[in-house]
Amino acid sequence: MTTMAEPFRIGFTSDFFLPDGSSAFGDIGTGLLESVPNVAWEQIGERGPELQPEEIAPFDAIAVLSRRVPARTLDGAPKLTIVARYGVGYDSVDVPACTRNGVLLTITPEGVRRPMATVNLTYLLALSHRLLEQDRFIRAGGWATKHEVRGVGLAGHTLGLVGFGNIAREFVTLARPLEMTVRAHDPFADPAAAAALGVELVDLDTLFETADFLAVLCALTPETRHLVSAERLAQMKPTAYLINAARGPIVDQAALTQALQKGRLAGAALDVFEREPIDPGDPLLSLPNVLLSPHGLGLTDEWSYITGQVACAAMLDVAGGRVPPNVVNRDVLDSPILREKLRRYEEACR
């Protein structure tokens, strides 16, 4: 890439960094940016749940972790060309506003597939062996009566998957030696891919009624919001466990709490919540049969490195006037606004 008249400016949201300015997640791909002439990156300094128009107005690209990017912010940043979301969820970004403003929205499926699959496997094993209860039991001096906290063997039990995308398929591959029956529901699933992994595609009623461990692995959309409702939870076996490391609002959290309190479910493991951070007074925090983590169990060094490389490569593609992979809002590719932005970047690099 030859020298541009002005640098291609990239802003990283403040939640990537510690108060001293160092990365909170290790390698997030900035070294890749520093190897390219006339590309400059910096931290977007303000902290808060929602990005403001004046924060992103100077930038050609922004790298986003958890801060929200609403329509009014995008409407106030005509220079912006790409929002590079670290992760695969994009419910925090107004997608129609991106398209309207000629802004690409990209995600990083390569970086989350294995880390999030192992999160679900970790939860599956911890729940089946009642690991948290065992830990509490020994701390309370319960060694002599350890038979009171017995686990569940997984062979022959049914693993249910709400969604059958990249993470779900990786999860199935990792869990294959456990010899479970695996069923999934996903209206967009490829039957051949499911058959190749030995997964039976079923309707939602069958999934909820037969699963011994049910993992939520779908995206949050208007159609999936509260998909795991009180009615669906009532269909589950009282011996069943629920796992959710996808998005909190897919599960009706109040209904889940009530089901756990009344013994209508054996337990749950949650990395995500309807409101984040979780309220310190939330009743989930006091339930003994729930494993909780702060929407961060998948944030490993593997996640940060691969995700960072993919996201930064996408921003560099745009800096060169190219369309990157993993574009969420494909309709934007027909936008004259976007085409003009990319044309200017391409010409500046000649």
Distances in Å between the Cα of 286 and the Cα atoms of 25, 123, 279, 282 are 30, 19, 12, 8
Half-sphere exposure of 243 (CA within 13 A, CB side): 29
Cα atoms in the Cβ-side hemisphere of radius 13 Å centred on 27: 14
Element containing residue 213 per DSSP (H, E):
strand 213-216
- DSSP 3-state of 341: helix
Q: Residue 295 catalytic? A: yes
d(CA 327, CA 82): 10
Catalytic residue list contains 231: no
247 is catalytic: yes
Give CA torsion, residues 170, 314, 311, 60, to 10 deg: -150
Structure tokens of 40?
Answer: 């400059």
Q: Identify the active-site residue in 231, 276, 340, 346.
A: 276
In contact, 88 and 114? CB cutoff 8 Å: no
Give one word for 44, left, alpha or beta, with left for phi > 0 and alpha for psi -120 to 50: beta
Cβ–Cβ contacts within 10 Å for residue 264, how many? 17
Q: What are phi and psi of 214, to 5 degrees?
A: -115, 120
Residue 170's Cβ-side half-sphere holds a number of Cα atoms within 13 Å equal to 17
Judge contact between 62 and 10, C-beta under 8 A.
yes
- Check 85, 130, 185, 247 and give the catalytic one: 247
Evaluate the omega torsion of the peptide bond into residue 288 and state whether it is cis, within 30 degrees of 0: no
For 63, 101, 191, the CA distances from 44, given in Å and listed in that order, are 10, 21, 44
d(CA 97, CA 73): 9
Q: Which residues carry out catalysis?
A: 247, 276, 295
